Amino acid sequence: MKSLGSFRRKFAPWNDPQAKPFIAIENVTKRFGDFTAVDDLSLNIYNREFFALLGASGCGKSTLLRMLAGFETPTSGRILIDGQDMSGIPPYKRPVNMMFQSYALFPHMTVEGNIAFGLKQDGMPKNEIEARVAEMLKLVKLEQFAKRKPHQLSGGQRQRVALARCVAKRPKVLLLDEPLGALDKKLREETQFELMDLQMKLGLTFVIVTHDQEEAMTMSDRIAVMDKGKVKQVATPAEVYEAPNSKFVADFIGNVNMFEGTVTAAQDGKINIDIAADKMTIRTDATRDCSVGQTVGFAIRPEKIRLSRKEPANSSVNAAYGELYDIAYFGDMTVFHVQLENGRIIKAASLNAVRTVEDPLGYEDMVWVNFDTDAGILLTA
C-alpha cells in the first residue's frame, strides 16, 4: 500500500476514534485590545505526543502556549488538560511546565538551585529533592556543573539546565517555547535528537512552539501550521509536506512551484488544468473533488521534477523545454532554476547521490523539465 512520506509511524492515536485527547483546546479566542491573537481555535493533543505549533512570528502560537501554561487567560473558549478544565487555575497550580525561550534561569541560584526550585515549591522532602536533582543532572549530563551559576555556562548547557528544571517536576505536559532558537545550527541538530530521546524515555507530552519548519518536521509527531490566530492544518510532517490542504500550507512548508488555473477536463481520475498565465496545461491525479470550470491550485515540489537534456518519452504531458537560468549548489542537493519558453521560472532539485558527474549541466544549457501525474498536489483551498 502506498503511504505518504518515507517512513511508517507506529504511534498515531489521532487516527484512533476511541483515544481521548490529553489536551483539548475548545474554541479558544484571545484578544489583546483590537488585536485577535488566537481566533476560535480548537485542537486535540494526545498523551505522549510530540506536538509542534509552527508559524511565522505573530501568528498566535506563543500566545496559545502561554494560555496552556496559564500566563494568559482565553477571552473565550476553554482548555482541558487530562479532562480537567483549566479556566481559573493559576500557572503555579497547573500540571504543565514550560521551558522559556530565554530559558529564564534564575541568575542568583546555582544550577542545582534552579533544578530544585520547583520541587521545593511542592514541599518535597529534602533527601528526595537531592536525589531528583542528581538524577536530572545526570539526565542532561551536567553533573560536574551543579554548583555553577547560569552565567558560567555555555548556551547549550543553559538550555539543558532549563530543560532539567522543568522536567524535574515530572509534569504531565512540557511546553517548550522555541527551545532551540538560541543555539547555533550544529548544536541545534544534536539537541533535536536529545529532546526526542528524552521525550520517549520520560513518556511525556511535549508541545513545542517554533518558527523553524525543519525543527518541527524532524521532531514532532504532528504539526499544527498556524496563521493569523488560526490553525491551517494539523497533520503529520509527511502529510503537511506531501499533502498540504491549502495554498498557504503548501507555500509555507518547504519549497514549491505554485500554479493556478482552471479545470478543463476530468476523466479516469485525472484532470487537466489550464494555466492561462503561463499558457500551459498540467495533467494531474484528481486527488480532490473538483469539476470542470473550477479554479484550482497546483503545487509541485522541486525534487519531484525531473531535468534532462533529452526529450522525455511522453513529452506531450507535463513536460516543457527551457534554459538553465540559475544554479544553487547545497552540497547534498542542487537546485536548478529553469526559465521556460513562456517566461515562467521552474525550480527543480536533484539529489547529489554520486560524487562525480559525467557532463554536468551548466548555465544557459537548454533542458527539459517533466513530472508524473501523481507528483504534484491539487489544491482547492
Partner 1 sequence: MQKLIGSVTSRLVISVPYLWLLIFFLVPFLIVLKISLSQVATAIPPYTPVLDITAGIRSLFNGISQFTWENYVWLVEDPLYYKAYISSLVIAAVSTVLTLIIGYPIAYGMARAPASIRPTLLMLVILPFWTSFLIRVYAWIGILKPEGLLNQFLMWANVIDTPLNILNTHTAIFIGIVYSYLPFLVLPIYSALEKMDYSLVEAAEDLGCPPLMAFWKITFPLSMPGVIAGCFLVFIPATGEFVIPDLLGGSSTLMIGKTLWSEFFSNRDWPVSSAVAVVLLLLLVVPIVLFQRSEAKAQESEK
Please state, in angstroms and as integers, the Cα–Cα distance from residue 72 to each residue in 29, 121, 139, following that order: 11, 22, 31
Residue nearer to partner 1 on the CB measure, 169 or 347: 169
Q: Which residue, 164 or 367, has its beta carbon nearer to partner 1?
A: 164
Based on the shown chain and the rule CB under 8 A, indicate whether residue 121 belongs to the binding site for partner 1: yes
Which backbone phi and psi does 65 adopt, to 5 degrees?
Answer: -65, -40
Please give, one letter per residue, the 3-state secondary structure of 40-67: EEEEEECCCCEEEEECCCCCCHHHHHHH
| Residue choice 61, 132, 158, 169 for contact with partner 1 (CB under 8 A) | 169
- The DSSP annotation for 143-204 comes to GGGTT--GGGS-HHHHHHHHHHHHHTT--SEEEEESTTTTS-HHHHHHHHHHHHHHHHHHT-
Which helix (H) or strand (E) is 223 found in, with range?
strand 222-227
Find the shortest distance in angstroms from Cβ 122 to partner 1: 6
CB of 117 to partner 1, least distance (A): 5
Site string for partner 1, 83-112 (x = CB under 8 A): -------xxxxx-xxx-xxx-x-xxx----
3-state secondary structure of 289: coil
> CA-to-CA distance for 165 and 167, rounded, in angstroms?
6
Task: Give the nearer residue to partner 1 in terms of CB position, either 133 or 243.
Answer: 133
**How large is the angle between the packed helices 155-167 and 111-121, nearest 10 degrees?**
20
Residue selected from 71, 193, 329, 363 as contacting partner 1 according to rule CB under 8 A: 71
* Complex with partner 1: residue 150 or 244, whichever CB lies closer: 150
Minimum gap (Å) between residue 354 Cβ and partner 1:
49
Cβ nearer to partner 1, comparing 97 with 318: 97
d(CA 107, CA 257): 48
Sort strands 333-340 and 84-85 into parallel, antiparallel or unpaired.
unpaired
Shortest distance in whole angstroms from residue 174 CB to partner 1: 11
Give 169 or 301: the residue with its C-beta nearer to partner 1. 169
Minimum distance of partner 1 from residue 90's CB (angstroms): 7
Q: How far is the CB of 71 from partner 1 (least distance, A)?
A: 6
Residue partners of 98: CB distance under 8 A and separation at least 6: 65, 69, 166, 174, 175, 176, 177
Our CA dihedral for 305, 307, 310, 312, rounded to 10 degrees, sits at: 0
Q: Does 65 bind partner 1 (CB under 8 A)?
A: no
Looking at beta carbons only, is 169 or 222 nearer to partner 1?
Answer: 169
The site that binds partner 1 (CB under 8 A) totals a number of residues, namely 25
Q: Which of 229, 112, 242, 243 is nearest to 168 (CA)?
A: 112
Least Å distance, CB 144 to partner 1, is 24
> Among residue numbers 129 through 168, which ones bind partner 1 (CB under 8 A)?
165-166
Between 47 and 101, name the residue whose CB sits nearer to partner 1.
101
Report the C-alpha gap between 149 and 109 in whole angstroms: 6
Q: Which residue, 165 or 247, has its beta carbon nearer to partner 1?
A: 165
Report the C-alpha gap between 81 and 68 in whole angstroms. Answer: 9
Q: How far is the CB of 97 from partner 1 (least distance, A)?
A: 6
For position 69 contacting partner 1 by CB under 8 A, the verdict is yes
Which part of the chain contacts partner 1 (CB under 8 A), choosing from 18-26, 67-75, 225-233, 300-308? 67-75
CB 370 within 8 A of CB 280: no
Options 13, 55, 60, 118; binder of partner 1; rule CB under 8 A: 118
Choose one: 116-124, 134-142, 238-246, 329-337; the region binding partner 1 (CB under 8 A): 116-124
Query: Interface residues with partner 1 (CB under 8 A)?
Result: 69-71, 90-94, 96-98, 100-102, 104, 106-108, 117-118, 121-122, 165-166, 169
